[in-house]
Amino acid sequence: MIKLTGKNISLIGMVHVRALPGTPRNQMTIREIRQTAVQEAQQLRKAGFDALLLENMHDVPYLKKMAGPEIIAGMSSVALSVREAVDCPIGVQILAGANREALAAAQAAGAQFIRAEGFVFAHVADEGFLESDAGELLRYRRMIGAEDIRIFADIKKKHSSHAITSDVNLEATARSAEFFGADALVITGFATGSPTSMQDLIEARQGTSLPLVVGSGAAPENLGELWHHAQAFIVGSYLKKNGQWDQPLDMERINRFIEASKKL
């Protein structure tokens, strides 16, 4: 478990915020987007999730390491509405790798953590070459007085090629992320919804004492083998109809996941 605002959290439910104004797939007003996010957040919280993570997943194709003021304002507004509607910690992620923007939105909304891509070591993502930004991000966090907001940093993340750092293994990457000031490390499979490897968790643990978070592919079928190697789970795709991230929430799948977690 990870302690946030005095609460122990182990299950983090994903709220995939609908496409925001200004992005190619936007079809809803910001008010409708807020209402949808709040409804999903309340469903996940009521089902038993300890915390929630809001992500602008529908804003494809993503910009690289930046987001316009309309995205920052939109995510801030949605996150604030969710925070006021549920009694649990919430986090913010802005794709792709817009970590400072996510931190600003999180502070504005009173959120407790962000998920950060490209924190240490560069990699090639769908959007192109992403450089690491730990130094800039932590200085920005100090500058805006947001040091109470935790940074959950992805390492060797999904949807990316890591050939340029093939001589730096997961253990060394985890060690570097801790040295550079991350608060928790997120370990993923190769893509959204793909299972996280137990061996990757074991290898990362050899390099860090930080909490490890499973960032993709958690399901009732693999929860048991991963449970003792991670402190928290970010769960999104499994909770949706047919296990597809862009589909509506499926209460049967949500309840199945929660029941599986209660047996551990």
Q: Measuring CA to CA, which residue among 194, 241, 243, 186 is closest to residue 222? A: 194
**What's the pTM value of the predicted model, to 2 decimals?**
0.96
**Residue 4: its pLDDT value, please?**
86
Chain centre to alpha carbon of residue 187? 11
Give Dmax (Cα) for the chain.
Answer: 47
Q: Measuring CA to CA, which residue among 126, 111, 213, 31 is closest to residue 102? A: 111
**Residue 164: its pLDDT value, please?**
84
**Residue 161: its pLDDT value, please?**
75
Tens digits of residue pLDDT in 218-261: 999 999 999 999 999 999 999 999 999 999 999 999 999 999 99
DSSP string, the chain: -EEETTEEE-EEEEEEPPPPTTSTT--S-HHHHHHHHHHHHHHHHHHT-SEEEEE-TTSPSPPSS---HHHHHHHHHHHHHHHHH-SS-EEEE-TTT-HHHHHHHHHHHT-SEEEESSSSS-EEETTEEE---HHHHHHHHHHTT-TTSEEEEESS-SSEE-GGGTTS-HHHHHHHHHHTT-SEEEE--SSTTPPPPHHHHHHHHTT--S-EEE-S---HHHHHHHHTT-SEEEE-GGGBGGG-TTSPB-HHHHHHHHHHHHT-
Q: Give the length of the chain.
A: 264
- How far apart, in Å, are the Cα atoms of 158 and each of 40, 58, 89, 172? 24, 17, 24, 18
Q: What is the CATH number of the domain that holds 175?
A: 3.20.20.70
Overall domain count for the chain: 1
**Residue 157: its pLDDT value, please?**
66
Taking the C-alpha atoms of residue 251 and residue 237, their distance in angstroms, rounded to an integer, is 13
Tens digits of residue pLDDT in 19-48: 999 999 999 999 999 999 999 999 999 999
Pick out the chain residues at pLDDT < 70.
Answer: 157-159
Q: Give Cβ neighbours of residue 252 (< 8 Å, ≥ 6 apart).
A: none
Yes or no: say if 254 and 43 are a contact pair by the CB < 8 Å rule: yes
- How far apart, in Å, are the Cα atoms of 143 and each of 69, 139, 155? 19, 6, 25
Residue 205 sits in which domain range?
2-262
Yes or no: say if 115 and 55 are a contact pair by the CB < 8 Å rule: yes
